């Protein structure tokens, strides 16, 4: 048993450290995103409209919930417009399922280092 625990600890330490996603962390802290909603009031929109924006300038990142995840809580993601430096936040899930959009939220900078980005579809 001791050997197994030692092996598991060694494997865990050998894994590469995952870099934090600066853009996501800033959004979560700024807006106060949690499993139960936002601490900051944001305008609700039907769906983001990005006229005159190249598709390459739009990326999607996942946002962690401040305070952790709960089974019937919300999950959040953000569509980031790199050119205009703002984000649209998508809230999904909940006890009574929702799929809602909020924003735009102005970003001080678009630092996507450490972020797993997905293309906007």
What does the pLDDT profile of the chain (121 residues) look like in tens digits?
A: 444 334 334 343 333 344 589 999 999 999 989 888 899 999 999 988 888 888 888 999 999 887 777 888 889 999 999 999 999 999 999 889 999 999 999 998 899 989 999 887 7
- Cα separation, 17 vs 83, whole angstroms: 30
- Cα separation, 86 vs 78, whole angstroms: 10
pLDDT of residue 9: 40
Per the CB < 8 A criterion, the answer to whether 35 and 65 are in contact is: yes
pLDDT of residue 64: 87
The residues near 25 (Cβ < 8 Å, ≥ 6 apart) are none
- Cα separation, 42 vs 40, whole angstroms: 6
Per the CB < 8 A criterion, the answer to whether 30 and 108 are in contact is: no
């Amino acid at each position: 048993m001791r050997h197994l625990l030692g092996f598991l600890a060694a494997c865990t330490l050998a894994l590469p450290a995952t870099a934090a996603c600066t853009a996501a962390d800033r959004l979560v802290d700024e807006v106060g995103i949690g499993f139960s909603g936002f601490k900051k009031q944001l305008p609700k929109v039907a769906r983001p409209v990005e006229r005159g924006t190249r598709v390459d300038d739009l990326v999607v990142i996942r946002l962690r919930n401040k305070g952790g995840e709960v089974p019937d809580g919300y999950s959040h993601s953000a569509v980031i417009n790199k050119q205009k430096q703002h984000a649209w936040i998508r809230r999904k899930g909940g006890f009574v399922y929702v799929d809602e959009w909020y924003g735009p939220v102005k970003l001080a900078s678009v630092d996507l280092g450490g972020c797993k980005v997905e293309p906007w579809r």
